[in-house]
Amino acid sequence: MKATKHAISPTRNENYAEWYQQVVRAADLAENSSVRGCMVIKPWGYAIWEILQRELDKRIKETGHSNAYFPLFIPKSYLEREAAHVEGFAKECAVVTHSRLVQNEKGELIPASPLEEPLVVRPTSEVIIGESFARWIKSYRDLPLLINQWANVVRWEMRPRIFLRTTEFLWQEGHTAHATPEEAEEETRKMLEVYRTVAEKLMALPVIPGKKTAAERFPGAVETFSIEAMMQDGKALQAGTSHFLGQNFSRACGIKFIDKEGEEQFAWTSSWGVSTRLIGGLIMAHSDDDGLLLPPRLAPIQVVVLPVLRGEKEDASVLASGAELCHVLGQKCHGGEPLRVSFDDRDRRGGEKNWEHIKKGVPLRVELGTRDIAIGQVTFLLRDGGGKQSMAREEFVEAVPRLLGELQERIFAAALALRRERTIRVKNFDEFREFFSSGNGFVEAHFCGDGAIERRMREEFSVTARCIPLETEGNIGPCFADPSRQGPITLWARAY
């Protein structure tokens, strides 16, 4: 390992897309399976997802939502109920047509027992959950109905990329129904804010919350909101979406209620989701040419203690001292949870173990040898650099939560600095073209909202309108592409 300069080859500068695949492999996060477009999430990748899931689940419940579970299969006729929705999803869905396999005369298994109506494996669950909502909601007193589901979904992917675009992925999808459009839109924005908090505080990922243009809306939505993050190559990643669905799905599914005045009305609904795609964003935003770099709040192991063993009789005391250090550290907290500490006493070469933890992004490594123990000190390294540091053992134990907190802040600050450096405000199409002809980044430009302009930008530059940032929502000016028309500041980028 020490012969090469970096653990990951190619580096980010050499080939960003391939570097990403190599980080996923080196950190042992996931792998492609033999089922095209479907991935296997390996233990280290799944452990990160579990932490993200637990933290998000806590916040979803704190905001009054309950978890429930709805069928994997959607009858074809249900999908047809909302025109824009079926248009958006029919072209990429897994269709179940038979309920058994039987052997033919050659001994081959062939599909048998055709279904009366084909079933679609859910690409998203608005229409199947809508069916339940229609049964559950009778009166304004049943509202708001605030439900969340953790599930797998399937959208057939022609150009799969691990974590970022997979045929099957894991996600949560919130679905809510309200008595007024104001309440439903407030919910939509509230959950966007929950996503922003999780992205920024846990993933150390600065994001721009905003409203999608009409062309970029979720199929069937009245408004779509998203959080957009910048990756290290300057491209955008949509990290979460929240949709105000108006009465489109309540009409399609028959979600009606009797209001306080005794009148029957259609409910106003919302839906919102984040997925395992977030792990792809986490990798691309923070990792370096040595592998994954995990924000401590999401690291399955925050501190690893590596005993330096020499095959001598002193080894026993090193092992005992290391176990004791882990025990003491495990009593400390970071982010309101006990520290996640691991003692790596596996019988392997120290260098090999060390590189494994670097590539997996463990935030803090302790190298514990006889000399350190003799003088009561701890030698440690932080994953984002700075080399070996030493500290008196007791002082170190107290300092770890602070060291991890500072690392978390540094990762966020670095991502924010990169985004600021690679974001420009443009006034006209020439500036826009010049920027995207020479590279990637975020462009802020007033935009009139004309879909034809969006199509042109996509065709000419592969650039899309990411969102209309909420922060500058009221800032209206002449459109960069058609100055005769006005519009809000809109964020443009190439996107994953």
Q: Which residues bind its own copies (CB under 8 A)?
A: 31, 33-35, 38-43, 46-47, 49-50, 66-76, 78-80, 86, 90-102, 109, 111, 118-121, 128, 131-132, 135, 147, 151-152, 154, 156, 168, 170
What angle in degrees, to the nearest 10, is found between the helix axes of 277-286 and 393-421? Answer: 90
Half-sphere exposure of 63 (CA within 13 A, CB side): 20
SS3 218: coil
52/468 with CB nearer its own copies: 52
Residue 60's alpha-carbon distances to 44, 271, 337, 351, in angstroms, are: 24, 13, 18, 42
Q: Which is nearer to its own copies, 92 or 337 (CB)?
A: 92
Secondary structure class of 103 (helix, strand, coil): strand
Residue listed under structure tokens 């993050």: 229
Shortest reach from residue 477's CB to its own copies, in Å? 42
- Outline where 105-180 has alpha helix (H): 126-136
Minimum CB distance to its own copies, residue 151 (Å): 8
| Other Cβ atoms within 10 Å of 65 Cβ, number | 22
Q: Name which of 165 and 433 has its Cβ closer to its own copies.
A: 165
Give the angle 155-218-91 at the CA atoms, nearest 5°: 35
Contact 242, 236 (CB under 8 A): no
Judged by CB, which is closer to its own copies: 170, or 391?
170
* Cβ closest to its own copies, residue 133 vs residue 244: 133
Q: Which is nearer to its own copies, 125 or 213 (CB)?
A: 125
Identify which of 161, 230, 193, 168 has the alpha carbon closest to the alpha carbon of residue 63. Answer: 193
Least spacing, CB of residue 173 vs its own copies, in Å: 14
Minimum separation from the CB atom of position 21 to its own copies (A): 16
64: exposed, middle or buried (Cβ count in 10 Å: 0-12, 13-18, 19+): exposed
> Least Å distance between CB 183 and its own copies?
19
| Contact in structure between 193 and 209 (CB atoms under 8 Å) | yes
* Contacts of 264 by beta carbon, 8 Å cutoff, 6+ apart: 256, 257, 258
What's the closest the beta carbon of residue 83 comes to its own copies, in angstroms? 11
Toward its own copies, which CB reaches closer, 83 or 452?
83
Tokens representing 423 are: 């974001």
Minimum distance of its own copies from residue 54's CB (angstroms):
10
Contacts of 369 (CB under 8 A, 6+ apart): 307, 308, 318, 379
CB 46 to its own copies: min, Å: 5
With CA atoms as reference, report the closest residue to 282 among 174, 423, 408, 403: 408
Structure-token match 């770890």, residue found? 400
Which residue, 93 or 403, is less far from its own copies as judged by CB? 93
